[in-house]
Amino acid sequence: MRSLMRVFLPVRHREKPLVRKDARFSSAETSGYVAKPAVTLDGHGRMGRDAPRRIDPAPSRLNYRIQRWMLTPGIRLGLRIGVPLCLAFAAGTAFWADEARRDALTGFIAEIRASIQERPEFMVKLMVIDGAGTNLAQDIREVVPLDFPVSSFDLDVAQIRDVITGLDPVKSASVRVRPGGILQVDVAERRPVVVWRTRQGIEMLDETGAHIDILTSRKMRTDLPLIAGKGADGHVDEALALFAAAKPLGDRMRGLVRVGQRRWDLVLDRGQRVMLPTTRPVQALRRVLAVNEVQDMLERDVASVDMRIGERPTLRMTQAATEEWWRIRNPDGDGQD
Amino acid sequence: MMTDLYQSQRAMRQMRQQAMQRGVVAILDVGSSKIACLVLRFDGTGKLADDGSIGSMAGQTGFRVIGAATTRSRGVEFGEITAMQETERAIRTALQAAQKMAEIRVDHVIACFSGANPRSYGLDAEVELDTQEVTESEIGRVLNACEVPEYGAGREVLHAQPVNFALDHRSGLIDPRGQLGQSLSVDMHMLTVDGTAIQNLVRCIKRCDLELAGIANSAYVSGISALVEDEQELGAACIDMGGGTTSVSIFMKKHMIYADCVRMGGDHVTGDISMALGVPAANAERIKTFSGGVHATGADDRDMIDIGGETGDWEHDRRSVSRAELIGIMRPRVEEILEEVRARLDVAGFDHLPSQQIVLTGGASQVMGLDGLASRILGQRVRLGRPLRVHGLPQSATGSGFSSAVGLSLFAAHPQDEWWDFEIPVDRYPARSFKRAVKWFRDNW
């Protein structure tokens, strides 16, 4: 016979029989098993009558609506992201609203910053300058006033480099912090190629015409060629080409004069001048030198050679030479008759 | 009247489109013994497998079941809502549990129910084509030319599906669009049910804050899921044995051509047991489920069943009956149901179908030995049907009691063309009503 009731009643098994030959009497206490009667006699525990259960499984209308509302994707997103965001924002605002807390936080951050920056690994102890002469190194140390040791976080290397590059004798510079706490400054100095004499004084220029230094006297740099005239520093490359072309003249060269900010005059000793054209001055000078080679033109008593118009080179002789020429042309008289 | 139907059905179609766009829709099977709710997620159209075969899912891969719940139905008798508050609570219970499992809110629901006296009508019409080609509007015109029978006041058209098109003398066309011919005729199957039943269901669903996106007869949808493809093609009857009703639907050429409903089901068997043995209905249901059967053997005389009771009388509560006695109680009722089904099938002319496959499904079809009894009454070719497999359906919802819920999900994914899917030809409409007025005038004078 199959019982229908049996399904409702839990069937319980003991681990060991309580009374028999091999019964373990101790297990009854230690295992925590409490033998309960399968059917309680107080009427509870059978057929689901033990508690006042809710018979209706249906959700109430409000419960149903709330659940549907909570399952709406927008609301779920809002609860997952929007609410934490709002809470974080509110907490942040409340914290920042108090000035004392704000200051404490900024102070705290600054303290941590300083403690990291002032570690010995980040300190720069000395500056090394390579590629500069003694005077220039002195100047660099003057324009970059740093009192070592200083933290490398406080060094603005790009700004230091700009300051050093701003010095006249410096063509280019690189500044970096070398391992070992050394501020390495590599400088490329400008090389003076000409001496420029102006009304204000004498100065040295490099090949681009940039000012390098002031000379008190021309005699300090006799090895450099001399240029003069207003606007000459803008055409140093042309001047250098002319000097190179005029090398055969040797010691007779005195210098170049810029005339009218437009063209060059080559000045020789004895007050001789070669007036060069605005365009292609080197070719004009070569023509003069070629004539000089053949006829020793400049050795003669010539005041100036005017090459300004290429089709019509002109010679101007000195007073004495002119008189001498007249005398030769007119050997009998004094030239008056 | 027809315009109203057009409007409401069109509105539901539109709602269904919206639900498909949102991608989530709930399936609600309102039965007499249980309310099942599935939550479907649509993720694109179903694609065939790489090798072009239909695959193990029979092409039903366009959707996935993400939530499923059932609850005991309340306030539903014979597949119709009788106590609306109770039914509303039961729907809420099922829907809340399914939503919770799916973890998403569902706003659109497609429902099916079985009762409300479904009645089938066959309509036909023939029109001469204006142009030689069959266009969408021509189909609308021929559908509209169908003479609607007087199906009675207070009834509503639930389904109206064109099942067959004929072009000149070529019949059996599924889709005549684009073909050439002179005259187009259509056969249409129309199913009407009591309007109040639909209105009650609509009201119930509205009260649960849901939008109704479609409504179907459960005989139709359980046929969709329980019949395999060749059975639907060659002709078969699906008998969905539910709690309060037993629905019959006949399929032919993949269209439902007849549906009816017997207002008897598993609950009546339970009631018989309860009455005969004098036990509560819950006990009777339990005895039926665990020990029931329709075919007694000698061993059943010795198999005693403790029938229980709650009267408090010890003697009364400890009675027992033999299983043979139980079978003796159940069998006449099951036979009666099957005889009634037989009568309905005879009325529908099921004998004349080329294939006479009968598929039993529904919760009450799980009685032991039912297929043997049914083959004696209904015919030789009887099998027990289970619903088609769909993606994500939990194991607990794959039993034959869920064939209408699963069928409704298939229906939601691949709805059949209905009458209202085609446009009414605007110029014809007043002319027809005028013609009808003339007809009425002539008939009455």
Number of residues written out for chain A: 337
Q: What is the rounded average pLDDT of the residues B34-42?
A: 91
Alpha-carbon torsion angle B157, B162, B166, B167, nearest 10: 100
Residue A32 has, within 13 A of its CA and on its CB side, a CA count of 0
Binned at pLDDT 50, 70 and 90, residue B1 comes out as very low
Beta-carbon neighbour count of residue A256 at 10 Å? 27
**Across residues B156-179, what is the average pLDDT?**
85
The beta-strand segments (E) located in B139-254 are: 155-167, 170-173, 183-194, 211-217, 236-241, 246-252
* Calpha distance A235→A261 (Å, rounded): 10
Give the whole-angstrom CA distance, residue A200 versus residue B420.
106
Judged by DSSP in three states, B329 sits in helix
Contacts of A242 (CB under 8 A, 6+ apart): A256, A264, A266, A276, A281, A282, A285
Q: Does A15 touch chain B (CB under 8 A)?
A: no
- Cβ distance A4 to B286 less than 8 Å, yes or no, reads yes
Q: Do B306 and A71 touch (CB under 8 A)?
A: no
Q: What is the mean pLDDT of chain A?
A: 80
Give B337 to chain A, closest Cα distance, Å.
28
Listed by start position, the domains of chain B span 119-193
Q: How many residues does chain B have?
A: 445
pLDDT, tens digit, 9 for 90 and up, residues B239-293: 999 889 999 999 988 889 999 999 999 999 999 999 999 898 888 999 999 988 8
pLDDT tens digits, B376-400: 998 888 999 999 888 888 888 888 9
The one-letter amino acid at B387: P
Confidence of residue A253 (pLDDT cuts 50, 70, 90): confident
How far is the alpha carbon of A7 from chain B, nearest alpha carbon, in Å? 11
Tell which A residues from 34 to 53 touch B, by Cβ distance under 8 Å: 47
In this structure, what token pair is assigned to residue B275?
Answer: 């009455």
Residue B13 contacts A, CB cutoff 8 Å: no
Q: Which helix (H) or strand (E) holds B360?
A: strand B357-361
CA B354 – CA B382 distance, rounded (Å)? 15
CATH of domain B119-193: 3.30.1490.110
Which residues on B lie below 8 Å from A56 (Cβ)? 89
CA B226 centroid distance within chain: 11
From the CB of residue B113, how many other CB atoms can be counted at a distance below 10 Å?
Answer: 28
Q: How far apart are CA B256 and CA B220, in angstroms?
A: 7
**B110 with B213: CB under 8 angstroms?**
yes
CA-CA distance, B315 to B298, in Å (whole number)?
A: 27
Closest approach of A25 to chain B, Cα-based (Å):
38
b or e along A11-41 (b: 16 or more beta carbons within 10 Å of the residue's beta carbon)? eeeeeeeeeeeeeeeeebeeeeeeeeeeeee
Say whether residue A72 is in contact with chain B using an 8 A CB cutoff: yes
Omega within 30 of 0 (cis) for the link into A149: yes
Nearest CA in chain B to A2: B305
pLDDT per position as a tens digit, A21-51: 555 555 554 445 555 555 555 544 445 455 5
Inter-chain residue contact A4 with B92, CB threshold 8 Å: no
**Which chain A residues contact residue B66 at CB under 8 A?**
none
pLDDT in tens, A70-93: 888 888 899 999 999 999 999 999
Coil vs helix vs strand at B193: strand
The C-alpha of A64 sits at a distance from chain B's nearest C-alpha, in angstroms, of 7
CATH of domain A120-189: 3.10.20.310
Q: What are the chain B neighbours of A68 within 8 Å (beta carbons)?
A: 96, 99, 105, 209
- Asked if A58's CB is within 8 angstroms of B208's CB, the reply is no
Q: In angstroms, how far is CA A214 from the centroid of its own chain?
A: 31
For domain A194-329, give the CATH number.
3.40.50.11690
CA B412/CA B434 separation, integer angstroms: 38
Q: Is the pLDDT reported for residue B89 higher than 70?
A: yes
Statement: residue A289 has pLDDT above 70: yes
Asked whether the beta carbons of A167 and A204 are under 8 A apart, the reply is: no
Separation between Cα atoms, residue B289 and residue B266, nearest integer Å: 10
Q: Calculate how close chain B gets to A3, using CA atoms only, in Å.
A: 5
Which residue is closest to B290 within chain A, CA to CA?
A4
Cα separation, B207 vs B95, whole angstroms? 13
State residue B111's pLDDT score.
Answer: 92
Residue B15: is its pLDDT beyond 80?
A: yes
Q: What does pLDDT average to over chain B?
A: 85
Domain boundaries defined on chain A: 120-189, 194-329
Task: Please say whether the beta carbons of B110 and B211 come within 8 A.
Answer: no
Report residue B311 CA to chain centroid gap: 40
DSSP state of A222: T
- Cα distance between residue A185 and residue A139, in whole Å: 13
pLDDT in tens, B60-83: 557 888 999 999 898 898 888 899
Q: What is the arithmetic mean of pLDDT over B128-137?
A: 82
| Locus of tokens 């004798």 | A169
Comparing C-alpha atoms, which of B147, B182, B149, B152 is closest to residue B167? Answer: B182
- What is the C-alpha to C-alpha distance for residues B16 and B153, in angstroms, rounded to an integer? 28
Inform me whether the C-beta atom of residue A100 falls under 8 Å from chain B C-beta atoms. no
Instruction: For the beta carbon of residue B38, count every other beta carbon within 10 angstroms.
Output: 32
Pairs of residues, one from chain A and one from chain B, whose beta carbons lie less than 8 Å apart: 52
List C-alpha distances in Å: A272 to A93, A230, A266, A297, B17: 88, 20, 8, 11, 107
Determine which helix (DSSP H) or strand (DSSP E) holds B209, and give its type and residue range: none
| Nearest neighbour of B93 by CB, restricted to A2, A4, A58 | A58
